[in-house]
Amino acid sequence: MAEFDLVIRGGTVVTGTDIMRCDVGIRAGRIAALADHLDAAETLDADGLLVLPGGVDTHCHLAQPWPEGGRDEESFISGSIASFAGGTTSAICFSSQFKGHPIRDTLTDYQARASSAMMDYSFHQIITDASDAVIHEEIPALIAAGIRSLKVFLTYDPLYLDDRQYLRVLSAARRHGALVTVHCENYEAIKWRSEALLAAGHTAPKYHAWSRPKIVEREATHRAIALAELVDQPIQIFHVSCPEAAEEIARAQARGVKVWAETCPQYFVLSAADMDRPGFEGAKFICSPSPRGPEEQAGLWQHIRRGTLDVVSSDHSGSSYEGNVGKRRAGSDAPFTKIPNGVPGLAARLPIIFSEGVSKGNIDVNHFVRLIATNPAKLFGLYPRKGSIAIGSDADLVLWDPTKKTTITNALMQQAIDYTPYEGLEVTGWPVATLSRGRVVMRDGKVQAEPGSGQFLARGAYDMIRPTGNLPDGFDASQYP
């Protein structure tokens, strides 16, 4: 009997810290050996290719229900196909609570939808209503069930939490052991500016960026951190779009606050100018925070190199451009306030960050692996099962051609959403095969996997999210919510 089920032969294995020319032996879905030469009945030739850990995308919206009816267009099946096409093998998506309703009203249905996934997956739980029952009963039950991260919005109707409600969520997370992830933009400031823009007749997509300048993100980032510091609760700031917000994070990190931060591909290759394309086309680029400009893009790379920003996820959130359920839901001349936010990026994430990062000399290949796989896996309690190439880890791997030049098209993204904001972007570096727990699920762009073959990743307690014990005056208010 062969010692391994499959051997990846002759590639260059890259982890978050090391580069090794060796074979990878896979047995029962896990990495069983890394060695000079391994024999197996079945081999996959990786000569000339990099062998990377499968991407871990800790921020994507799949089949997420909306309070006003409907749900995100990308299903767990189409989302898995896009993920495998782009070299991602695990994702954390969002179970949403509707204000005034218990979490369980939406969670059971969401779990049923997710069970069709082909990639491995977990959930963040969005908290929109910090009621006593949610704080004292539902959050502890969720955490016990392996959902170890909560998401809160400091803006967006009807998701937004005020500061007191946010504090209640932070303190519940501290008591029971979960990470809190935060969407940071100032609710009142955006509302006020949007009303003023509309009153002045400024309704086109480009005014989306005008309604939420960098200051509203910087202010909310500062506040999110300050309140987390008050409670001594670890947090991750989602989708940082500009160096001004990153500076707030860097200052807190320098004080020893447990705050981490992600950014996304859209903030490196899209800009506010894209929302000013002719007609309604600008709608394709509307997402929040807004894409900025070349100066901010350069500033974000600096914060990546400094380590302020240590995760790049996609924030895949899709609404098709054609038809009447996506970006045109409120009509083709809808004001920017009525155009759904979000851009798709599950398949584009790795190619864009490799190309803009490694191929253009902004970061080295180990840093790339840390950003797209190792750091997100560690921060969300999936490591070492996910996020690295090590004995005993799941054999989630991407065979990567670092020199292949590709022009991104929506067909290559293999997603349900009918457009990509990256259409025509040239990238250097492309996935040629993806393995999920030892199964070859993508080869030369062809995805093959059984719906339902993905596994739910229940997450237990882990060190990164333990509070520091540094309370401003020693008083642990989280015991008295």
Q: Which residues in this chain contact ligand DUC in the complex, by CB under 6 A? A: 61, 183, 287-288, 315, 317, 341-342
Closer residue to ligand DUC, CB minimum distance, 183 or 328: 183
Closer residue to ligand DUC, CB minimum distance, 343 or 353: 343
When CB distances are held under 5 to 8 angstroms depending on the partner's kind, the choice from Zn ion, ligand DUC, none that residue 341 binds is ligand DUC
Closer residue to Zn ion, CB minimum distance, 166 or 238: 238
**Closest distance to ligand DUC from the beta carbon of 254 (Å):** 27
Per DSSP, the three-state class of 329 is: coil
By CB under 5 A, residue 73 contacts Zn ion: no
Per DSSP, the three-state class of 332 is: coil
**402 cis-preceded (ω within 30 degrees of 0):** no
- CA 310 to chain CA centroid, nearest Å: 12
Closer residue to ligand DUC, CB minimum distance, 137 or 281: 281
**Closest distance to ligand DUC from the beta carbon of 319 (Å):** 9
Q: At what angle do helices 243-254 and 214-231 cross, to 10 degrees?
A: 20
Q: Which stretch binds Zn ion (CB under 5 A): 47-55, 110-118, 309-317, 360-368?
A: 309-317
Distance (Å, whole) CA 110 – CA 99: 16
**Closest distance to Zn ion from the beta carbon of 66 (Å):** 13
**Closest distance to ligand DUC from the beta carbon of 414 (Å):** 20
**Closest distance to ligand DUC from the beta carbon of 316 (Å):** 9
- Sort 474 into a burial class: Cβ within 10 Å, 0-12 / 13-18 / 19+: exposed
**Closest distance to Zn ion from the beta carbon of 480 (Å):** 30
When CB distances are held under 5 to 8 angstroms depending on the partner's kind, the choice from Zn ion, ligand DUC, none that residue 287 binds is ligand DUC
* Closest chain position to Zn ion (CB): 183
Match 């955490």 to its residue by tokens.
143
Closer residue to ligand DUC, CB minimum distance, 173 or 240: 240
Question: Two tokens at 265?
Answer: 């591909």
Q: Report 200-259 residues binding Zn ion (CB under 5 A).
A: 238
When CB distances are held under 5 to 8 angstroms depending on the partner's kind, the choice from Zn ion, ligand DUC, none that residue 316 binds is none
**Closest distance to ligand DUC from the beta carbon of 317 (Å):** 4
**Closest distance to ligand DUC from the beta carbon of 183 (Å):** 5
Q: Report 170-199 residues binding Zn ion (CB under 5 A).
A: 183
**Closest distance to Zn ion from the beta carbon of 394 (Å):** 25
**Closest distance to ligand DUC from the beta carbon of 137 (Å):** 27
Question: Residues 306-317, buried b or exposed e (16+ Cβ, 10 A)?
Answer: eebbbbbbbbbb
Match 């025509």 to its residue by tokens.
424
Closer residue to ligand DUC, CB minimum distance, 90 or 181: 181
When CB distances are held under 5 to 8 angstroms depending on the partner's kind, the choice from ligand DUC, Zn ion, none that residue 151 binds is none
Question: Two tokens at 480?
Answer: 């008295």
Q: What DSSP assignment string belongs to 242-283?
A: SHHHHHHHHHHHHTT--EEEEE-THHHH--GGGGGSTTTGGG
Question: Two tokens at 445?
Answer: 């762009």
SS3 of the chain: helix, strand, coil, percent, to 5: 35, 20, 45
Distance (Å, whole) CA 153 – CA 181: 9
Closer residue to Zn ion, CB minimum distance, 23 or 262: 262
**431 cis-preceded (ω within 30 degrees of 0):** no
Closer residue to ligand DUC, CB minimum distance, 135 or 169: 169
By CB under 5 A, residue 74 contacts Zn ion: no
Contact 88, 56 (CB under 8 A): yes
Distance (Å, whole) CA 168 – CA 174: 10
Contact 394, 385 (CB under 8 A): yes
By CB under 5 A, residue 315 contacts Zn ion: yes
Closer residue to ligand DUC, CB minimum distance, 210 or 462: 210
Q: Which stretch binds Zn ion (CB under 5 A): 111-119, 311-319, 326-334, 444-452?
A: 311-319
Contact 31, 40 (CB under 8 A): no
Closer residue to ligand DUC, CB minimum distance, 174 or 327: 327
First-to-last CA distance in the chain?
A: 60
Closer residue to Zn ion, CB minimum distance, 291 or 429: 291
**Closest distance to ligand DUC from the beta carbon of 39 (Å):** 48
Contact 21, 51 (CB under 8 A): no
When CB distances are held under 5 to 8 angstroms depending on the partner's kind, the choice from Zn ion, ligand DUC, none that residue 206 binds is none
The amino acid at 180? V
Question: Two tokens at 186?
Answer: 């100032």
When CB distances are held under 5 to 8 angstroms depending on the partner's kind, the choice from Zn ion, ligand DUC, none that residue 478 binds is none
Residue ranges that bind Zn ion, judged by CB under 5 A: 183, 238, 315
